[in-house]
């Protein structure tokens, strides 16, 4: 079969909108009657669930933001009694309380369905051997992938992240065909394999499904080349139940959104105005099939573009561009907005350096300055200080030319940047220290 769920993945726009409206009506009534937070918010705007006549009426409702989730920690937004909850995930916040994600059995089933579509579109089939190198535990990545691959009928190896050498040995011994991990951990595995003299290209490994971090197209190509695989993406967030919200198809030109489960909007992050398809802005999600924790107009902070277009894979599901960056990660240097992904794209094109870097924001007087430590390849480093300085200048000029900002590049010795086993830390903001 060509699709995991042909009915929903190839549904006409009209039918999809009808389905969404029906689910949205139910969800609004559901949360209004069960969660005081929503009742108060809707009442403040003078909105009753029965006022929703068409999908566009959703725009009359206020947004939800991350602090709403933190303020109601741990179960203030849960729409069912805890006796009906069968799983609780949480995301590790860097500041403050984590975000909790409770699930009913139905929620787990629909999440598994979304993940199965995601993996099936990536080319994963029941005869595959899937090595799941996402961290298992509270983080939604590990179990989300586990469930999706199990539903397809794959043999899943729940190895979790870390112990990289063992990952490579298992990969060889078990004949792993599919890898699940963060993109930066895939790179760590590729590098370790090269050091061990293991040629990943000669192994049965053929597909990787990566997510939980924003990564550039250049990074995808790098992973594909080093591992000899097709690198596909899974997009999601704890607030929407984990990975599987949107996924790559064989075309790799944007992610298909599981629209029968989530309504997506793009807004101007400053004014909050809804923007038309094709415009870059902040992604907002409404979950329309969840029972325990259906967010309404949740601002993700992720910057992307939505597109309604024909895809050669045959799916009709709305497409979204690869996440450009998180508005939280956006740096303002000399008045110019910069995303780490823009710097990453340029670094990955420089053959003298490794795709390992850290951006450091410092304050000098009143001005913010951006520094970047990037790892030299051994042969670059061995060529001596003059060569190193040349490369540094060359990268600085490239970045000035392409992004329009001054950045101080420093080439650091091979292997001096800590390797990622999960989500990589790419930006250090010394202004906040």
Side by side, the strands of the sheet bearing 407-412 are 407-412, 367-376, 353-364, 427-429
Choice between 230 and 315, CB closer to Zn ion: 315
The neighbour count for residue 89, using CB atoms within 10 Å, is: 23
- Alpha helices (H) in 306-352, listed in sequence order: 340-347
Residues 103-132 that bind Zn ion (CB under 5 A): none
Choice between 50 and 251, CB closer to Zn ion: 251
Choice between 320 and 374, CB closer to Zn ion: 320
Position 41 contacts Zn ion (CB under 5 A):
no
Choice between 2 and 201, CB closer to Zn ion: 2
Choice between 51 and 251, CB closer to Zn ion: 251
Position 322 contacts Zn ion (CB under 5 A):
no
- 404's CB contacts (< 8 A; 6+ apart) are 336
Position 299 contacts Zn ion (CB under 5 A):
no
Q: Record the tokens describing residue 179, joined without a space.
A: 């890898």
Give the shortest CB-229-to-Zn ion separation in angstroms. Answer: 19
Nearest to 231 by CA among 202, 209, 258: 209
CA distance 104 to 107: 5
CA distance 347 to 399: 9
Site map 301..320 versus Zn ion, x via CB under 5 A: ----------x-x-x-----
Give the DSSP per-residue string, 40-87. HHHHHHT--GGG--SGGGGGGSPPB-HHHHHHTTTTTT--S-GGG--E
Give the shortest CB-120-to-Zn ion separation in angstroms. Answer: 12
Give the shortest CB-251-to-Zn ion separation in angstroms. Answer: 5
Position 253 contacts Zn ion (CB under 5 A):
no
Where does this chain touch Zn ion (CB under 5 A) — which range of 1-9, 247-255, 276-284, 327-335? 247-255
Choice between 212 and 313, CB closer to Zn ion: 313
Asked whether the beta carbons of 17 and 55 are under 8 A apart, the reply is: yes
Residues 199-238 that bind Zn ion (CB under 5 A): none
Give the shortest CB-98-to-Zn ion separation in angstroms. Answer: 34
CA distance 262 to 241: 11
Position 11 contacts Zn ion (CB under 5 A):
no
Choice between 41 and 315, CB closer to Zn ion: 315
Beta strands in 239-279 (DSSP E): 242-248, 255-257, 262-267
Q: From the list 249, 296, 348, 361, which residue makes contact with Zn ion (rule: CB under 5 A)?
A: 249
Position 246 contacts Zn ion (CB under 5 A):
no
Choice between 323 and 409, CB closer to Zn ion: 323
Specify the DSSP class assigned to residue 16.
Answer: H
Q: Which residues bind Zn ion (CB under 5 A)?
A: 249, 251, 311, 313, 315
């Amino acid at each position: 079969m060509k699709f995991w769920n042909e009915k929903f993945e190839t549904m006409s726009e009209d039918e999809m909108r009808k389905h969404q409206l029906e689910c949205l009506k139910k969800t609004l009534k559901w949360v209004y009657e069960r969660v005081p937070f929503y009742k108060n918010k809707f009442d403040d705007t003078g909105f009753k669930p029965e006022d929703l006549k068409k999908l566009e009426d959703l725009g009359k409702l206020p947004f939800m933001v991350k602090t709403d989730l933190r303020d109601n920690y741990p179960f203030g937004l849960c729409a069912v009694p805890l006796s009906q909850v069968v799983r609780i995930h949480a995301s590790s916040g860097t500041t403050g309380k984590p975000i909790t994600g409770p699930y009913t059995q139905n929620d787990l089933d629909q999440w598994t369905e979304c993940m199965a579509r995601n993996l099936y579109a990536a080319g994963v089939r029941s005869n595959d051997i899937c090595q799941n190198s996402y961290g298992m535990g509270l983080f939604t990545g590990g179990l989300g992938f586990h469930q999706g691959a199990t539903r397809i009928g794959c043999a899943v190896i729940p190895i979790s992240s870390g112990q990289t050498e063992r990952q490579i040995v298992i990969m060889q011994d078990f004949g792993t065909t599919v890898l699940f991990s963060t993109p930066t951990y895939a790179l760590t595995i590729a590098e370790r394999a090269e050091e061990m003299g293991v040629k990943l290209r000669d192994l049965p490994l053929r597909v990787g499904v990566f997510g939980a971090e924003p990564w550039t197209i250049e990074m995808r190509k790098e992973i594909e080349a080093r591992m000899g695989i097709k690198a596909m993406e899974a997009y999601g967030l704890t607030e929407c139940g984990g990975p599987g919200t949107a996924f790559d198809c064989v075309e790799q030109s944007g992610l298909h959104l599981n629209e029968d489960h989530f309504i997506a909007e793009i807004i101007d992050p400053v004014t909050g105005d809804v923007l038309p398809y094709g415009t870059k802005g902040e992604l907002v999600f409404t979950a329309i099939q969840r029972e325990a924790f259906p967010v309404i107009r949740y601002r993700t902070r992720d910057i992307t573009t939505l597109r309604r277009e024909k895809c050669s894979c045959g799916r009709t599901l709305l497409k979204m561009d690869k996440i450009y960056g998180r508005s939280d990660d956006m740096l303002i240097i000399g008045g110019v907005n910069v995303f780490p992904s823009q710097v990453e794209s340029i670094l990955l094109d420089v053959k003298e350096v490794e795709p390992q870097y850290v951006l450091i924001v410092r304050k000098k007087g009143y001005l913010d300055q951006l520094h970047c430590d990037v790892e030299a390849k051994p042969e670059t480093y061995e060529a001596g200080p003059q060569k190193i300085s040349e490369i540094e200048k060359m990268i600085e000029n490239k970045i000035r030319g392409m992004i329009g900002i001054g950045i101080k590049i420093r080439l650091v010795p091979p292997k001096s940047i800590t390797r990622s086993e999960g989500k990589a830390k790419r930006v250090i903001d010394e202004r906040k220290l």
